[in-house]
Amino acid sequence: MQVHLDRVRCQGHGRCYVLAPAVFESDDDGYGIVVSTLAVNSEILPDLHDAARKGAANCPEDAITLTEG
Ligand code: SF4
């Protein structure tokens, strides 16, 4: 699974990094980013798939896209 966070859509509500801190974190301005250790190729380990889905499902801006496969 790959995770992409659209920085244009993100409004900094913070729900992703509150609900799924293993996958998402806050930048210095409170906007969501993918955890830096995952950011090289955005590939999420299987153990984190549920957390990634939880963050994506709770983003009110639909800023998080998951690509299964
Ligand atoms: S929940 Fe969505 S809008 Fe809020 S910080 Fe995360 S990506 Fe941005």
Run of H or E including 18: helix 15-19
- The number of the ligand 1 atom at minimal distance from the alpha carbon of 15 is 1
- The number of the ligand 1 atom at minimal distance from the alpha carbon of 14 is 5
Residue by residue, DSSP assigns 44-63 as PPGGGHHHHHHHHHT-TT--
φ, ψ dihedrals at 42, nearest 5°: 60, 15
pLDDT of residue 38: 77
pLDDT tens per residue, range 1-59: 999 999 999 999 999 999 999 999 999 999 999 998 876 677 888 999 999 999 999 99
* Eight-class DSSP state of 38: G
Give the integer Cα–Cα distance in Å for 48 and 3.
11
Rounded distance from Cα 47 to ligand 1 centre (Å) = 21
pLDDT of residue 25: 96
**Which of 59, 62, 65 has the most ligand 1 atoms within 8 A of CB, as the residue to mutate?**
59
Query: Band of the pLDDT at 69, cuts 50, 70, 90?
Result: confident
